[in-house]
Amino acid sequence: MLFMADTQQADEQVETVAGAAAGKRDRRAARLAREIRAFAATHGGSAEGQLAHIGRGRIRIALVGANGEWGNLVADTLESAKAAAEQAGLTLQDDFDGDLAARVRTGRYEWSRMAGIQVGGRANA
């Protein structure tokens, strides 16, 4: 039999655990936001992005800088990814196609990787 004091203590423990989880999510979103801002600063002063589910609850934040350079970050949840994008002032696109994809600048590394996986292409070592 639970007494009122026991119930209150259990409720306080649940609130503490929920608060700790929320704090951890906030810290992760803030870290991702810093990384997004750093990427934008390094690649032309701004960036745009797109969010995509990549499995097991993870979300890919695809970034395209103003200079065409691109990169990826991974968030634990969609909420963290959206919060990070908002904190960083990242403009999100619905899809990674059209104008966003056209701005991506690929380099020698990407072309060699793509050529290596084509049928009959040189294998990557």
Q: Whose CA is closest to 24, among 83, 73, 92?
A: 83
Which residues share a beta bridge with 73?
61
Q: What's the CA gap between 37 and 52, in Å, rounded?
A: 19
Q: Taking the complete model, does pTM exceed 0.75, yes or no? A: no
Cα separation of the two ends of the chain: 67
Give the pLDDT score at 41. 96
For residue range 33-78, what is the model confidence (pLDDT) as tens digits?
999 999 999 999 999 999 999 999 899 999 999 999 999 999 999 9
28 φ, ψ (degrees, to nearest 5): -65, -45
pLDDT band at 81 (very low <50, low <70, confident <90, very high): very high
pLDDT per position as a tens digit, 101-117: 999 988 777 777 666 55
